[in-house]
Structure 1
Amino acid sequence: MSIWSRITAAVSALTHGESLSAVFEHLRSPPERSVAFTIAVIALGAKMAKADGQVTRDEVKAFREVFQIAKEDEAGAARVFNLARQDVAGYEEYARKIKAMFGDGSDTLCDLMEGLFHIAVADGEYHPKEDAFLARVAEILDLPEAKFRRLRARFVPDARPDPYDVLGVDHATPLPEIRAAWREQVRDTHPDRLLARGLPEEALKLAEKRMIAINDAWEEIQRERARADAHRDL
C-alpha cells in the first residue's frame, strides 16, 4: 500500500465534522509516523499558503518535488491540502499537535521545517508573512534558534547563504571542529537515518538537496581557510 493510500485511509477514518488536525491523535505509533509527517507538511504548507494570501503553481509543484507524488495519487494529496486550507483550526493548533506527536527535541521536527522552507521559497520569493509564519511554527515546535537560522540561510532567495550558518558554526570555529560538524550533518542526512525517524521514502528528495548544501558549505570554508593561510605565508 502506497503512503498516499495510507493517508487517504487515515483521513477517511475521521468522524463527520472532525478537524483534519485530529488525525495526529491517531498516528502516534512509529509505523504511521511517515503518514503523519507527510500530512503535517501538506497541512502546514496549506496554512502557510493561506497566510501568504495565494497558492501559486510553484508552491503546488514544490509539494510534488518534496514528495514525488505519482499522477494517480495527486487527487489524494490535493484532498489533504484542501481540507487543511478550509479547516477552521489555526496553524498553531496543528503545530502543537504535531509537536506532541513527535516529542520534544525530535530531529523530525527539523525535517518538517525544512519541507516548509522548500515550499515557501518555491516561487522564488520569501514573503515576510511566510517568514513570520515559519518563525512562529519553529517557536511552537521548540526548534532551536540556531537550527532555524541554519535553514533560513540555506533557503532564502536573493541572499548567498553563509557557509558557517549552513553548518551551524561560528566564523572563528577551528577547522577540525567545523569538519566534525560537517560530518555529523552528513551522518544525520543519510537516508537510513531519515527513514528511521519517520520520513517517507517519497520525501527523500529533501535529503539530496540538504546534502548538496552541506557539502558546498564545507568546501567553501576549506577554500576560504586555504586562501587565508596562503595570505599569511606571504
Structure 2
Amino acid sequence: MSIWTRITEALAALTKGEGLSAVFDRLRSPPERSVGFTIAVIALGAKMAKADGQVTRDEVTAFREVFQIAREDEAGAARVFNLARQDVAGFEEYAGRIKRMFDGETGTLCDLMEGLFHIAMADGTYHPQEEAFLRRVAEIFGLDEGDFRRLRSRFVPDAKPDPYSVLGVSRDTPLPQIRKAWQQMVRDSHPDKMIARGVPPEAIRLAENRMVAINRAWEEINEEAAGADRHL
C-alpha cells in the first residue's frame, strides 16, 4: 500500500467539521508516523505558502522533489495542501500538534524542518515572512538556535555556508571532536535511521542533500586545519 493511499485513509477518518490538524493526534504509533511526517511537511508547507502570500510552481515542484510524488498521486498531495490552506487552525496549532505527534524527538523534527527549508527556497528567494515562520515553528518544536542556524546555513545562500555551523560546532572545538560530530551526522543521515525516525522512504532524498553539505563542511574544516599545521 503506497503512502498516498494511507494518507487518503487518514483523511477519510476525519469526521465532519474536523480540520486537518486533527490527524496529528491519531498518527503517533510507528506504522503511522511516516504518514504523519508526510502530512506534516505538506500541511506546514501550505501554511508557509500563505505566509509569503503566494504559491509558485517552484514550490509545487519542491513538494515533488521532497516526496518523489508520482503523477497519479498528485491529486492526493494536492488535497492535503488545500485542506491545510483552508483550515481555520493556524500554523502554530499545527506545529504544536506535530511536536506532540513525534513526542518532541529532535531528530525527526529537524528532518521535518529540512523539508520546509527546501520548500521555502524552491523559488530561489528566502522571504522575511518565511524566516519568521520557520523560526516560530522551530521554537514550538523545541529546537534551539544552534539547530536552526545549522539548518538555515545549508539552504539560505545569503552568505557562504559556515562549515562549523553546518556541523553544529564552534571554531574552537578540537578537530577530533569535530570529526565525531561529522561522523554522528553521517550516521544519523543513513536512510535506515531516518526511516526508523518516521521519515517515509519517499522522502529519503532529503538525506542526499544533507550528506553533500556535511561532507563538504568536514572537508573544508579538515583542509583548513591541515593548512594551519603546515604554517606552524
TM value normalised by structure 2? 0.98
Alpha-carbon distance, 1:29 to partner? 1.1
Q: The residue matched to 1:137 in structure 2 has which SS?
A: helix
Q: How does 1:67-78 map to 2 (within 5 A)?
A: 67-78=67-78
Post-superposition Cα deviations, 1:14-61, rounded to whole Å, max 9, x if no partner, equal 011110000111211110000000000000000000001001111111
Q: How far apart, CA to CA, are the structure 2 residues paired with 1:225 and 1:193?
A: 31
Q: How far apart, CA to CA, are the structure 2 residues paired with 1:179 and 1:213?
A: 15
Paired amino acid for 1:80? V
Alpha-carbon distance, 1:104 to partner? 2.2
Instruction: Answer yes or no: is the 8 Å Cα contact 2:153–2:165 preserved in 1.
Output: yes
Gaps of at least 5 residues in structure 2 are: none
Q: The residue matched to 1:54 in structure 2 has which SS?
A: coil
Aligned to 2:44: 44
Q: How far apart, CA to CA, are the structure 1 residues paired with 2:157 and 2:125?
A: 6
Alpha-carbon distance, 1:228 to partner? 1.5
Paired amino acid for 1:174? P
Gaps of at least 5 residues in structure 1 are: none
Q: The residue matched to 1:113 in structure 2 has which SS?
A: helix
Runs of 4+ with >3 A deviation: none
Instruction: Answer yes or no: is the 8 Å Cα contact 2:43–2:81 preserved in 1.
Output: yes
Do structure 1's residue 208 and structure 2's residue 208 form an aligned pair?
Answer: yes
Q: The residue matched to 2:231 in structure 1 has which SS?
A: helix
Instruction: Answer yes or no: is the 8 Å Cα contact 2:106–2:143 preserved in 1.
Output: no
Q: How far apart, CA to CA, are the structure 2 residues paired with 1:56 and 1:9?
A: 28
Aligned to 1:218: 218
Q: How far apart, CA to CA, are the structure 2 residues paired with 1:209 and 1:176?
A: 24
Q: How far apart, CA to CA, are the structure 1 residues paired with 2:152 and 2:43?
A: 20
Post-superposition Cα deviations, 1:88-125, rounded to whole Å, max 9, x if no partner, equal 10000000000111112431111111110110011111
Q: How does 1:36-185 map to 2 (within 5 A)?
A: 36-185=36-185
Post-superposition Cα deviations, 1:66-93, rounded to whole Å, max 9, x if no partner, equal 0000010000000000110111100000
Q: How far apart, CA to CA, are the structure 2 residues paired with 1:70 and 1:209?
A: 21
TM value normalised by structure 1? 0.97
Alpha-carbon distance, 1:148 to partner? 0.7
Aligned to 2:192: 192
Q: How far apart, CA to CA, are the structure 2 residues paired with 1:53 and 1:203?
A: 26
Worse-superposed segment, 207-216 or 155-164: 155-164
Paired amino acid for 1:79? R
Aligned to 1:4: 4
Alpha-carbon distance, 1:174 to partner? 1.1
Q: How far apart, CA to CA, are the structure 1 residues paired with 2:224 and 2:107?
A: 30
Give me the CA root mean square deviation. Answer: 0.8
Instruction: Answer yes or no: is the 8 Å Cα contact 1:105–1:143 preserved in 2.
Output: no
Paired amino acid for 1:156? V
Q: How far apart, CA to CA, are the structure 2 residues paired with 1:226 and 1:154?
A: 24
Instruction: Answer yes or no: is the 8 Å Cα contact 1:121–1:157 preserved in 2.
Output: no
